[in-house]
Amino acid sequence: MYGFEIERPTSVADAVAALGADEAQALGGGQTLIPTLKQRLAMPSKLVALSGIAELRYVRREGDVLKIGGGTTHGTVAREAAGNFPGLAALAAKIGDPAVRNRGTIGGSLANNDPSACYPAAALACGATIVTNSREIAADDYFQGMFTTALEEGEIVTEVRFPIPEKAAYTKFEQPASRFALVGVFVAKYADGVRVAVTGASNDGVFRWSAAEEALSGSFSADAVAGLAAPDGSDMISDLHGSGAYRAHLVGVMTKRAVVAAG
Amino acid sequence: MPKDNGIGASTKRREDVRFLTGTGNYTDDINLYGQAYVHFLRSDVAHGRINGIDTAAAEAMPGVLRIFTGADFEALGGLPCGWQVTDRFGQPMKEPKHPVLAHGKVRHVGDPICAVVAETLDQARDAAEAIVLDIEELPAVVDMRKALEEGATLVHDDLTDNLCYDWGFVEENKEAVDEAIRNAAHVTTLELINNRLVPNPMEPRVAVGDFNAASGDSTLYTTSQNPHVIRLLMGAFVLGIPEHKLRVVAPDVGGGFGSKIYHYAEEALCTFAAKALRRPVKWTSTRSEAFMSDAHARDHVTKIELALDADHKFTAVRTSTLANMGAYLSTFAPSIPTWLHGTLMAGNYTTPLVYCNVRAVFTNTVPVDAYRGAGRPEATYQLERVIDKAARELGVDPIEIRRKNFVTEFPYQTPVAVEYDSGDFHRLMDKLEARADFAGFAARREESKKKGLLRGLGINCFIEACGIAPSNLVGQLGARAGLYESATVRVNATGGLVVMTGSHSHGQGHETVFPQVIAEMTGLDANMIEISHGDTANTPMGMGTYGSRSIAVGGSAMVRATEKIINKMKKIAAHLMEAAESDIELRDGTFSVAGTDKSVAWGDVTLAAYVPHNYPLEDIEPGLEETAFYDPANFTYPAGAYACEVEVDPETGRVTIARFTTADDFGNVMNPMIVDGQVHGGLAQGIGQALLENASYDENGQLLSASYMDYAMPRADDVPFFSVDHSNGTPCTHNPLGVKGCGEAGAIGSTPTVVNAVVDALQSGGYKVDHVDMPVTPSRVWAAMQG
Amino acid sequence: MTEVTMTVNGKSVSRAVRGNELLVEFLREQLRLTGTHVGCDTSQCGACNVHVNGEVVKACTMFAAEAQGAEVTTIEGMANADGSLSTIQQAFQDHHGLQCGFCTPGMVMSAAALLKDNPKPSEAEVRHHLQGNICRCTGYHNIVKAIMAASGQDVGAIAAE
């Protein structure tokens, strides 16, 4: 790592102020950023650790919305969302490994928007609202391609609001080495329709599979998906773990399984 | 003998206590006063000409002590190769120089160019970034077939091509083999790849060099499986330090699997720099660095043909392999695809004619060398895959075709030089059939079907050659080292016994098992026995631990040295009891005169040896210390029969190991618990190779699977509980303990078992797939299913 | 440099740390607690696992400065008060759950975290929980067996050799 200072504010306001410094960078759980720093792929002058901000750590239900503080770890979501939104809790329980889940945060994951991360699929499929220190951003506007989001420099994800679906499930086909999603599909059924978001597969990052949404909104069943053509493989990631065509095929399989798992 | 610590007892490991409490002493735990740190600037291109290295700015950076480049080592030796293979035409292999730091050219991504020594590691890394390299990138030679084409770019400009050697074995049989294949009733042909692996012991390599200005002695602390070999290679061939001025210490070592046999550039650099700077110099590899600097493994492209007569007897095997050497010859690299591979091509069978051709190829990739099994997995994989394919083509049972061809009489002289001393392959298969519940397979397949999964059963038999020896034979085959082992047994005045062994434990449990043998021989309590290893200052010489040789060779040396001790003690006891030496018996730690009630305790004899007041000084010297060097008469030949059941998800291609059953013959077993553990570990590595692991290069020579993000290590949920058995082995006939070695079996026997099972599963689902190359990843299975 | 104070294995320690100093560097280099190991640089192998405020974390993927005020437990703090092996440590020895010992501290720390939350885990739960702990020696067989045995389950039948 290059040398840098580390600051550990205890409030969002202090964190935002600290991030005003030149080349300052926010540190969430660090589970992606720290390995990146070890490779000297980033050169911040200052890291602003968000882990000391108690006000960013919560999971609470308000009406039909589950609100999760941006600094909440995956492990906490796995435990505390289980009653209100089991599909999301199950997703959180399968991110990385136990040690990663005890540090990694939902805000950090969404801010990074790794094309193989799990949370983006949930946020997009649920039409979640990403709340920052300065504004609210709809998920449909938030994700802008791999590692790219609507966040401005120095903006912190303070909360994520998930409308709680009637039924939902996430199925992940793991890349065998990293255990990130080779393809992950989140299916969420609401009174007004079904949303399907796919992570891991596309060169453009997380995306909604509209053909599946249409079919499932008509009939929420595995059969409804079975008849669909796989999405276009030419837009899919192709690497040593699988071709674009394979990933496209898996999108169909994982969607079907998510529908079954959602019950 | 107390039941819990003699031969055959599952004695709990004494070394565990320190590892479980965080008090082990691994090389990275060693920090010397005044220590500086080295960071290696490594090539990020696979092939390039070094036109200039400007270190001026870097040398002026804070904390920088010295920057070494290839020029500093120009007058010194390169990293030596320990085995010279002679080709089909009687010519020696090509052996290009392997410089400590790249000189003239860089030849693989990770090739070290500069070594920056600074007060702190961060300072060394900062300075490395300030070095200005002028490297003209050259086309990379990656694919072995292309490397051998006319006009291919040369990895080494001083060679005429990229061929290291073209080896044939047995060359005299070539025409007879060709003829047998022409005349066969059936020939089965299979082309396959034995995938490149990265060994990945969990402890990355570390080297700490130290220099004592007062004595002029150098010391190297290093993560090695064989510190004496490092002392010899580095001292004599690289740095010109005589062995008596060089001490090499390999303390607790966190796994090796072959990758810590070799002498590496970083060891030489740290030793050299410590002397130059009069400061200890430390290097700790990161995992990312390990991926591009630890020797890789396997990487064969093979075509094998099996000829059968009308009765399904094997009549000939012909095989042709391209073996990747990487950019330089690692310490034992040339021997792996040849003498550790061709000599196993008869397998467990009576095939009378074998011809094995191997062309070793230089490429712009990390050097390739031995890894758990080393050559024998490559031989077993191709042979057992082609037998399986033949059985399917002929519609015969894969077990029956194997049984029909088993060697049944021992000793058995194979057509590929080696002579199997003992074995019972039918009994192994009988055991496997009983324990793997083949009868219940059909029902289990139905259960899998209900879950939408295809279940397959794979069978495999294998034999390996371990404890490589004797020295005079391996010398004829090109080894530049002896392959004996030494042990010194020292008994102190107060009766405690220390074994200084040249074997090195990096997970095998020598500190527990070796005392079990001594306890059995002497009747001493295990807490009276200590094992010392890993320090050239303690042990006379050592060839180290690899090739499943520790108990077979190192254990035998210890037995011989202990026998000398016991004989001397009997002389002393005879004197003390005024009896004839031939009447003295040693039982439960007490010397007695046969047929009388006269006895003298172990401690009385040891005390007499060091306080020789009443002592036969005219016949024997005082003291109790004996050394033995043991050079085996032959290899040992562990063998086994394995069965694996897999489930394949036809929608995703994902393969899951459902059951894995083994029946092994390791000869006599010293500690069944530890042997079980060795098999478990080997199986996981073999399953890893079969399903997960792949060191994959792109056409530019960039390693794509260069971290655990892309190199799939087997994890706990990739494997099931294993059902292993090694009871009632046939003892080795030529070593004192009757042992064969158990370290590599699991890795050798498992890969074809898994792939045979996958093919069985796919064919059961109606897919016309007769082979899938390893690693059998979901995407490859899915692609194979698409036709 | 920043001053941090934390409790490590029951003892309060204060040291100045660099901003980029990882918790594992702090433990190994400043406190000389070398039982916590570094086996990778991509946060996957788990050899560096320790407990921070009772939860298992990777000490190589957390800065020392972030442990300000925390309770940290390392492998050196896992034995019983009288120095004897804890139930989990003893089970690893009894069931040969370690070979080279390098991944072992991380395995023990993970196992302890698992059994705290799930006192009687199934085989599948143990294997899933160990996703972030890589062992190259044991094939995991005896690690899983040891953890199940440490939880008081009879492993004679389920982990038959």
**B379 located within any domain:** yes
Indicate if B301 and B287 belong to the same structural domain. Answer: no
Give B703 to chain A, closest Cα distance, Å: 11
Q: Do A103 and C2 touch (CB under 8 A)?
A: no
Q: Please give the mean pLDDT across all residues of chain A.
A: 96
Residue A107, Cα to own-chain centre: how many angstroms? Answer: 9
- Are B418 and B528 within one domain? no
| Per-residue pLDDT reduced to its tens digit, C14-52 | 999 999 999 999 999 999 999 999 999 999 999 999 999
A residues 192-211 near C, CB within 8 Å?
A: none
Q: Does C133 touch chain A (CB under 8 A)?
A: yes
CA dist., res. B468 & res. B471, Å (int): 8
Domains located in chain C, CATH noted:
2-76 (3.10.20.30), 87-153 (1.10.150.120)
> Are A102 and C57 in contact (CB < 8 Å)?
yes
Distance CA A103, CA A51 (A): 9
Distances (CA, A) of B374 to B79, B332, B359, B743, C3: 21, 10, 16, 12, 51
Task: Write the CB contacts of B422 (distance below 8 Å, at least 6 apart in sequence).
Answer: B410, B411, B637, B667, B730, B731, B732, B733
> C104: closest CA among B677, B725, B656?
B677
Q: Does one domain contain both B436 and B506?
A: no
Last residue of a domain, one of B630, B645, B668: B630
CATH number at residue B545: 3.30.365.10
pLDDT by residue (tens digit) across B347-356? 999 999 999 9
- Asked whether residue B236 falls in the same domain as residue B130, the answer is yes
Domain that holds residue B615: 16-23+484-630
Determine the Cα–Cα distance for residues B263 and B250; give it in Å rounded to an integer: 13
CATH architecture of A5-49: 2-Layer Sandwich (3.30)
The answer to whether the Cβ–Cβ distance between C161 and B725 falls below 8 Å is yes
Interface test with A, best of B652, B713, B785 (most A CBs within 10 A): B652
Looking at the predicted structure, is the pLDDT value of residue B787 above 90?
A: no
Give the end of a domain, one of B606, B630, B654: B630
Contacts of C143 in chain B (CB under 8 A): 716
Strand positions, DSSP E, B442-523? 454-463, 485-491, 497-501
Q: Which of C32, C60, C27, C24 is nearest to C132 (CA)?
A: C60
Q: Is C145 on the interface with A (CB under 8 A)?
A: no
Which of C22, C42, C49 is closest, CB to CB, to A99?
C49
ipTM summary value? 0.98
Task: Give B695-712 pLDDT, tens digit per residue.
Answer: 999 999 999 999 999 999
Per-residue pLDDT tens for B321-348?
A: 999 999 999 999 999 999 999 999 999 9
Neighbouring CB atoms inside 10 A of B522's CB total 22
Q: Are residues B404 and B492 in the same domain?
A: no
- pLDDT exceeds 80 at position B4: no
Helix axis angle, B778-785 to A244-262, nearest 10°? 100
Distance, C-alpha A25 to centroid of its chain: 20
**CA dihedral (B710, A123, A172, A183) positive or negative:** negative
Q: Would you state the structure tokens that stand for residue B451, as one six-digit string?
A: 């879950």
Q: Which of A40, A173, A243 sits opposite B652 (nearest CB)?
A: A173
Q: Is the pTM of this model over 0.80?
A: yes
CB contact under 8 Å between B723 and C143, yes or no, is no
Contact A30 C62 (CB under 8 A): yes
Query: Is the residue at B235 inside a domain?
Result: yes
Q: What is the pLDDT of residues B114-167, one digit of tens each?
A: 999 999 999 999 999 999 999 999 999 999 999 999 999 999 999 999 999 999
Cα–Cα distance measured from residue A213 to residue A231, given in angstroms and rounded to the nearest whole number:
12
- What's the pLDDT tens digit per position in C94-129? 999 999 999 999 999 999 999 999 999 999 999 999
The highest-level CATH class for domain A56-163 is alpha beta
Distance set, CA A12 to CA A34, A48, A77, A137 (Å): 21, 11, 20, 18
C-alpha dihedral, C58 to C61 to C63 to C69, nearest 10°: -30
Contact at CB, B710 and A240, closer than 8 angstroms:
yes
Q: Please check whether residue A236 touches B, CB under 8 A.
A: no
Which candidate from A35, A52, A99 shows the least CB-CB separation from C46?
A99
Residue range A192-224, pLDDT digits in tens: 999 999 999 999 999 999 999 999 999 999 999
Contacts of B783 in chain A (CB under 8 A): 243, 246
Strand partners, A105: A73
Distance from CA of C17 to the nearest CA of B (A): 14
Residue B176 within a domain: no
Q: Which residue of A has its CA nearest to B696?
A: A240
Residue B145 lies in a domain: no
Question: Is B188 among the domain residues?
Answer: no
End-to-end CA distance of chain B: 62
**According to DSSP H, which parts of B621-692 are helical?**
672-687
Alpha-carbon gap, residue B402 to B650, rounded angstroms: 30
- B129 neighbourhood in chain A, CB within 8 Å: 40
Q: Which CATH superfamily is domain A167-262 in?
A: CO dehydrogenase flavoprotein, C-terminal domain (3.30.390.50)
pLDDT tens digits for range B530-565:
999 999 999 989 999 998 899 999 999 999 999 999
Contacts of C44 in chain A (CB under 8 A): 97, 178
